[in-house]
Amino acid sequence: MGIIFNEKTGEFHLYNRRISYIMKILRNGQMGQLYFGRRIHQKEQYDYLLENRYRPTTAYVYEGEYSFSLEHIKQEYPAYGTTDFRMPALEILQENGSRITEFTYVSHKIRRGKPKLCGLPATYTQQEDEADTLEILLKDQLLGAELILRYTIFRDYDAIARSASFQNAGEQTFWLTRAMSLSLDLPDDEYQWMQFSGAWGRERYIKERWLQPGIQAVNSTRGASGHAHNPFVVLRRLHTDEFQGEAIGFSLIYSGNFLAQAEVDNFGVTRLMMGINPFQFAWCLKPGEEFTTPEAVMVYSHEGLNGMSQTFHRLYGKRLVRGEWRDKERPILINNWEATYFDFNEEKLVEIARAAKEDGVELFVLDDGWFGGRCQESSGLGDWWPNLDRLPGGIKGLAQRIEKLGMKFGLWVELEMVNKDSQLYRNHPDWIIHTPGRCVSHGRKQYVLDFSRKEVVDYIGGMIEKLLSDAPVSYIKWDMNRSITQCFSAEFPPERQGEIFHRYILGVYQLYERLTARFPHILFESCASGGGRFDPGMLYYAPQAWTSDDTDGIERLKIQYGTSFVYPLSSMGAHVSAVPNHQLYRNTPMDTRGNVAYFGAFGYELDLGRLTLEEHQIVRRQIAFVKQYRGLIQTGVFYRLKSPFEGNMTAWMVVSDDKTRAIVAYYKVLNEVNGPFRRLFLHGLDPERCYLLEWEGEEREEKPAFYGSELMNAGLVISDASSGEASPGNHCTDFWSRVAVLTAIQDQEKGIEI
């Protein structure tokens, strides 16, 4: 890994063993993009890759010359209006009304490791030799504005992290109205664009289309990354599939309004950009002030989509998630939300916890309804003290009772919100986000606290800190259940109102930072009406996120499959809930509900005390399974094998780093009569090793053994037709699934040497 700068040619080459990123200082001082992809040789010059030819109707930079037009030159951080007519990476509104800028190279620094991004979540290094960082300083001489383009190349991950900082080193105030985190010009448009979109209850479904001339984009305007789209897109080549071919993933480490877009110009050049959504954004920079964009990460894979996802999983799992919980196995939890909703008292909660403990659950989580006057949606948010009518012993008393049972205790909060029926609102009605003189809209009968204001964040922080220091709380579920409307802050002057959406999310990050620093033992799980803020920004503070409010096992196949394109399994809260399912009334078998939830941070979302004896046995088996294999599942190498978006069958597997163990799961949505004699082709195993195969929950004396080469090439036979026997006494039905554990053996009789 390294960063080479060639003084003579002005070219930079960032590389590790597998990827190269090459750019150069252009004739006019701007930064040009030459190459991003699989590792290529270091050469003095790659500038033959720049386009310098004459074309009719083009505007050229130098008088009398027809060879240098930014319309045709691939760039690093383009501006509009100086011969380039595509969407720019930056735009600055100046005092004279102009938006024209010219940032040119001044100097650069190459340093070991990776500097912190102040106040923003970002990937990090633990040792200096894990990454190198390049910072290129550019300046707009007329405006006195400075721009730093930052690039980090990692040694062990095929990823480049990018961000940009602006400094007003001049004398006039200006407004940043567009400041992308990354912009990348790619030489052609022969890519499929993949986005991860949906709505509440069906988050992160895969949507794909060929790039077309013009702009294709996903974004958020809600104040959170949102249910509708994720700040993540992929470009993949025609023949790229899960296992082979080129794919580039672009992920923004940000939880607020974002934009991810690809613009294909009339010469087939693709410009990919990603950053804070410029819509409704204007950041005022007075002389001496600075602004830094969130970080964006680009991952390159020539080993298909699985290869790309595996890089994201490792990078985000190890160098974005922080703290004590990063490398720990996640506790099996029970959450009372779907068991009780708002209808509970202390005794009922303890009863639920006791039943869960008997089955082996490790953490009891008390969801919404425990605080202030919160007995229904319309009251209590903002009053973060226990409701003593419901919990006579307070949170401390309840937590102690739960700990006495031998479980840890966790709590739900929604710190960014307030109900009008609350003491907080009565004392500080002006603390909600609202536009003076306009109607204030509610969402779920609640209002958004103005987290762009320090005093508001400090006050809420103080309240929750007191609670957490008084009681043994081991886990927090941090929810956020509505979008921001009438965005305006009473704290800021008119020229700063375009900053509020971003300042709000900075306030959320500040509070997360304060609480995670003060209570490092607490495991945080983020949530926003299910998966409405499942993004890398949140992962920096909360190692888990509630993947979706849709808890049905079959629905979760698509949700978890889509989510796995960028987020590691350890980050996906996945619970077994009751039947009929509360979101869509389906009766998915207990086994299948568990078999899906295994592939995440596992838990239950029902009253285990109400189960039949037979169901209890399944629960106990599931818990024993998770305890034995969660280390492997949560940190192993994950392969998607069959997509729920493409047919009736879904399959995936996880392999340990040393390839000695693996877990394979397949799921069939609807049963079929007299179906094909199917095989599943496994991946990631050691071809030379022999593996014993054991179907989870099925007693067999003789465990069959297979070579890795056999399972990957001849396939695992999954004879699941309803007319035949799936396994003794276990006939295939609708919503059916099976999980197998593979363990490498050192068995001479089987004829192998390890």
Catalytic residue numbers?
479, 549
Structure tokens at 715: 């396939």
Residue with smaller CB distance to ligand DGJ, 260 or 413: 413
**Rounded to the nearest whole angstrom, what is the least distance from the CB of residue 317 to ligand DGJ in the complex?**
23
**Rounded to the nearest whole angstrom, what is the least distance from the CB of residue 416 to ligand DGJ in the complex?**
13
Residue with smaller CB distance to ligand DGJ, 162 or 227: 227
**Rounded to the nearest whole angstrom, what is the least distance from the CB of residue 530 to ligand DGJ in the complex?**
5
Q: Which residues of 279-290 are buried (b: 16+ CB within 10 A; e: fewer)?
A: ebbbbbbeeeee
- How far is residue 337's CA from residue 356's CA, in Å, rounded to a whole number? 14
- How far is residue 567's CA from residue 349's CA, in Å, rounded to a whole number? 32
Residue with smaller CB distance to ligand DGJ, 329 or 368: 368
Which residues touch 462 (CB under 8 Å, ≥6 apart)? none
Residue with smaller CB distance to ligand DGJ, 231 or 530: 530
**Rounded to the nearest whole angstrom, what is the least distance from the CB of residue 80 to ligand DGJ in the complex?**
41
Which residues touch 467 (CB under 8 Å, ≥6 apart)? 384, 385, 395, 473
Among 21, 31, 25, 28, which Cα is nearest to 7's? Answer: 25
Structure tokens at 728: 């003794």
Give the residue nearest to ligand DGJ (CB). Answer: 368
**Rounded to the nearest whole angstrom, what is the least distance from the CB of residue 374 to ligand DGJ in the complex?**
9
**Rounded to the nearest whole angstrom, what is the least distance from the CB of residue 548 to ligand DGJ in the complex?**
8
Secondary structure element (H or E) that encloses residue 637, with its range? strand 637-642
Structure tokens at 565: 């394109």
**Rounded to the nearest whole angstrom, what is the least distance from the CB of residue 546 to ligand DGJ in the complex?**
5
Residue with smaller CB distance to ligand DGJ, 365 or 740: 365
Give φ, ψ of 335 to 5 degrees. -115, 135
Beta strands per DSSP E along 237-348? 247-253, 258-264, 270-276, 283-285, 290-292, 295-301, 333-335
**Rounded to the nearest whole angstrom, what is the least distance from the CB of residue 476 to ligand DGJ in the complex?**
12
**Rounded to the nearest whole angstrom, what is the least distance from the CB of residue 477 to ligand DGJ in the complex?**
6
DSSP-assigned letter for residue 522:
P
CA distances to 135, 179, 305, 501, 683 from 274, in Å: 19, 9, 20, 17, 33
**Rounded to the nearest whole angstrom, what is the least distance from the CB of residue 58 to ligand DGJ in the complex?**
52
By CB atoms closer than 10 A (0-12, 13-18, 19+), residue 345 is: middle
Residue with smaller CB distance to ligand DGJ, 145 or 542: 542
**CB 72, CB 84: distance < 8 Å:** no
Helices (H), 566-612: 590-597
Q: Where does this chain bind ligand DGJ (CB under 6 A)?
A: 337, 367-368, 412, 479, 481, 527, 529-530, 546, 549
- How far is residue 102's CA from residue 178's CA, in Å, rounded to a whole number? 15
The three-state (H, E, C) secondary structure of 96-160, written as one string = CCCCCCCCEEEEEEEEECCCCCCCCCCCCCCCHHHEEEEEEEEEECCCCEEEEEEEEEECCCCEE
**Rounded to the nearest whole angstrom, what is the least distance from the CB of residue 377 to ligand DGJ in the complex?**
8
Provide the residue type at 717 as one letter: V
Which residues touch 395 (CB under 8 Å, ≥6 apart)? 370, 386, 411, 467, 470, 471, 473
Residue with smaller CB distance to ligand DGJ, 339 or 522: 339
List 15's β-bridge partners, or say none. 2, 20
**What is the length of the chain?**
754
* Secondary structure of residue 311 in the 3-state scheme: helix
Residue with smaller CB distance to ligand DGJ, 370 or 599: 370
Residue with smaller CB distance to ligand DGJ, 108 or 348: 348
Among 680, 657, 689, 677, which Cα is nearest to 739's? Answer: 680
- How far is residue 412's CA from residue 385's CA, in Å, rounded to a whole number? 12
Structure tokens at 205: 């479904």
Residue with smaller CB distance to ligand DGJ, 475 or 691: 475
CA distances to 167, 197, 360, 412, 630 from 546, in Å: 38, 16, 22, 12, 17
Residue with smaller CB distance to ligand DGJ, 242 or 479: 479
**Rounded to the nearest whole angstrom, what is the least distance from the CB of residue 623 to ligand DGJ in the complex?**
21
- How far is residue 74's CA from residue 78's CA, in Å, rounded to a whole number? 9
Residue with smaller CB distance to ligand DGJ, 163 or 551: 551
The three-state (H, E, C) secondary structure of 422-462, written as one string = CHHHHHCHHHECCCCCCCCCCECCEEEECCCCHHHHHHHHH
CA distances to 46, 152, 446, 505, 626 from 414, in Å: 53, 35, 11, 14, 29
